[in-house]
Amino acid sequence: MDLEIKDKQEIKMKIIAYTNTPDALKKAIDKKISSNETKTWEIVFNKKNEALYSHSPEQWKEKAMLKPYIHENILEFRISWWNKNEEPNEETKGYILGRFVEILIVHFKEKFTHLEIR
């Protein structure tokens, strides 16, 4: 499997979680996914050993993944995909973003002040 990912700055479909502790939020997400508490999400790694969040049902698995970026007071999740694949269509991107927003709200709402979808 080609473990390089496409990750374009101009991609507008992303989630921004506003938080005073972006690193702690990312660690909490990693822990909950790794312990299988989210059931339908898994962590996969690219060649740089960066974590990517993939929706694990076969229909969506590794078609569009979310790559976390830590900034001051925000944790951003950008849509990424493997180099060997074509860019996911808008419906796939929207589905992945929506499902991930769901786990953020259900499992981590106390760890951010608000979310923004772009």
Does the pLDDT at position 83 exceed 80? Answer: yes
Q: Can you count the helices (H) and strands (E) in the chain?
A: 2, 7
Tell me the mean pLDDT in the region 95-106: 96
pTM: 0.88
Please name each of the domains of the chain with its CATH number. 5-117 (3.30.310)
Neighbouring residues of 12: CB distance < 8 A, sequence distance ≥ 6: 118
DSSP string, 91-114: HHHHHHHHHHHHHHHHHHGGG-SE
Percent of the chain, pLDDT > 90? 87
Percent of the chain, pLDDT > 70? 90
Q: Give pLDDT tens digits for 31-69.
A: 999 999 999 999 999 999 999 999 999 999 999 999 999
Predicted pLDDT of residue 1: 41
C-alpha atoms less than 13 angstroms from C-alpha of 8 in its C-beta half-sphere = 10
Does the pLDDT at position 96 exceed 70? Answer: yes
Q: Are 45 and 92 in contact (CB under 8 A)?
A: no
Phi, psi of 3 (to 5 degrees): -95, 10
Predicted pLDDT of residue 13: 84
Q: Provide the 8-state DSSP code for 56.
A: -
Does the pLDDT at position 2 exceed 50? Answer: no
